[in-house]
Amino acid sequence: MLLESYYTKQNNLVRISAAQASTFAKQECRDFNPIHDPENKRFCVPGDLLFSLALNEYGVSESMSFTFTNMVGDNIGLVFPEADGEHIVITNEQGKSVLEINKKGKTSHDPALIESLIQNYVVFSGQNFPTLLMPLMKKHNVMFNPARPLVMYNSMSFEFDELALEAPVNVELADSLFEVEPKRANNFLHFAINDGEKSIGRGIKKMVVAGLKPYDHESITAFSDAYEARRSAF
């Protein structure tokens, strides 16, 4: 995956336009969350793009965690500092944290590993709706508001047993957990990282589903059908 088409860099500031962010979400992740549409009033850059740029910049460590602390809007300047320790804070040009990274263990800058992990992880991550989330919402009798859907990337972490690859990385769902609170739910996706048929790591992705309301099969199915139609049209 060539990330250069999804950002620009000038004077040490990384900028991502709404069009670049939206294309990344749709083209690379197959993610059609309306919050990544350029015309959306609550538009934000996909967390998966920030994650990808971070791996491209800092490499893959044996243990890494990523916490998304603030949304990134259209063409906001971002500072990716030099990595001089285990804790890295990516900020906007006003100095506000947008992504915090903790890393431990050995680090690999092998382009094949980095590209393989990015490509396979973002495709896995983009499955969240409707494939993974719909059955969980139905099971717990809740859903987001189809008129104002708000499903946000909160954090992710992974651990590798080894960083040497023999085959392209494969990321697949291992388990899922849906914790319902009064007005929101936390969706945890546990995933396995494989090198061909060999297990080499594992991780967890956390999503926040906001604006919960009682489950209504007809309205959420209509939303899902429209979502899939957008995906097919693209």
Q: Is 219 exposed, middle or buried (0-12, 13-18, 19+ CB in 10 A)?
A: middle
DSSP 17: -
Q: How confident is the model at residue 26 (pLDDT cuts 50, 70, 90)?
A: very high
d(CA 105, CA 108) in angstroms, rounded, equals 10
Q: What is the pLDDT of residue 1?
A: 64
Q: What is the pLDDT of residue 68?
A: 98
Residue range 169-203, pLDDT digits in tens: 999 999 999 999 988 999 999 999 999 889 999 99
Nearest to 160 by CA among 188, 191, 187: 191
Q: How confident is the model at residue 129 (pLDDT cuts 50, 70, 90)?
A: confident
- pTM metric for this prediction: 0.94
Average pLDDT, the chain: 94
Q: What is the pLDDT of residue 127?
A: 85
Percent of the chain with pLDDT over 70: 100
* pLDDT above 90: residue 167: no
Residue range 42-101, pLDDT digits in tens: 999 999 999 999 999 999 999 999 999 999 999 999 999 998 899 999 999 999 999 999
d(CA 149, CA 155) in angstroms, rounded, equals 19
7 in Cβ contact with 16 (< 8 Å):
yes
Phi, psi of 90 (to 5 degrees): -90, 130
Torsion angle of the four alpha carbons 84, 90, 92, 95, in this order, in degrees rounded to the nearest 10: -50
